[in-house]
Amino acid sequence: MIERFKKRIKLDSSVVRGSGDDCAVLKFTQDKYLLMTCDMIVEGVDFTLKAKPELIGRKAIAISISDIAACGGAPRHCVISMGIPKAMSVEAIDRISKGMFDIAKVYRINIVGGDISRSEKLVIDVSMLGEVEKKNLVLRSGAKKGDIIFVSGELGGSIRGKHLSFTPRLKEARTLVNKFKINSMIDISDGLTQDLTHILRMSKKGAVIYEDLIPVSLDAQDIEDALSSGEDFELLFTVSKNEARKIMKLKMSNFYAIGEILDQSAGFNIVDKVKRHKPLRPKGFRHF
């Protein structure tokens, strides 16, 4: 459906990149682009009302921070629309908004507006503006043959809590774009396999990843869970072998090399523990 939408869209020259990446990229100043993204979370789909209200508010904003980070930028401003069920207590709403204000403060984001509506189920939509130095912009489409593929942390099992309380990898992303040449990047929201597929499709490349190298979270049930389950919100990025060597020497961070970018004709394969090559098909979270 999103693909069908995109075909219809006419954009003027002030749009550097429209939909199809983690953020839209818009002309801004001589040195910087403006980044824009929106993310909607819905009760019963992305959270339940059993969750701590603060964490619901926090998640609504953290998802957009993660998108801005995945493009190499820094978040700046956001607006928040909320559809609130009539039965929801003022205390719950206050606690949701506290979760929003707290994370906005930590990441120095201005909450500059909003809209409140009535709705049967709680729904929160956050639209965020960020800024990125032109030289630091990273898109999904820049992966090159021979690139090493990295993830920024352990994968899988986020349903057991991390999907609500994850830390957007802003600091890591900013370090990466400031110190290294990052060829492509995305945040893992739909699952490793599916999000790497997004990079491969946009970059017209293939890839191989190694089961032995995938950092599987203690919360994950198995490797399949680490490959497919959504909402890890780790960074997935590719860099040249030369840059990869430097990144692997970094002490500060949890970056794991998991595979390599290949020609598109090589397809997308995983090498399992007994060295068998198996084709990967995206099985990540789908809303429909």
Binding residues for a second copy (CB under 8 A): 1-2, 4-5, 8-12, 14-15, 18-19, 23-24, 26, 28-29, 36-42, 44-46, 76-77, 79-84, 86, 90, 93-94, 97, 101, 105, 108, 110-121, 123, 125, 127, 129, 287-288
**C-beta closer to a second copy: residue 34 or 216:** 34
**C-beta closer to a second copy: residue 125 or 154:** 125
As measured in angstroms, the least distance from the Cβ of 82 to a second copy is 8
As measured in angstroms, the least distance from the Cβ of 108 to a second copy is 7
Phi, psi of 190 (to 5 degrees): -100, 0
* Tokens representing residue 16 in the block: 């550097």
Measured CA to CA, the distance from residue 238 to residue 151 in angstroms comes to: 9
As measured in angstroms, the least distance from the Cβ of 47 to a second copy is 12
Phi, psi of 50 (to 5 degrees): -75, -20
**C-beta closer to a second copy: residue 116 or 213:** 116
**C-beta closer to a second copy: residue 2 or 218:** 2
The answer to whether 33 and 27 are in contact (CB under 8 A) is: yes
The answer to whether 152 and 255 are in contact (CB under 8 A) is: yes
As measured in angstroms, the least distance from the Cβ of 160 to a second copy is 21
Neighbours of 73 (CB within 10 A): 31
53: Cβ contacts below 8 Å, ≥ 6 apart:
92, 93, 95, 96, 98, 99
As measured in angstroms, the least distance from the Cβ of 180 to a second copy is 26
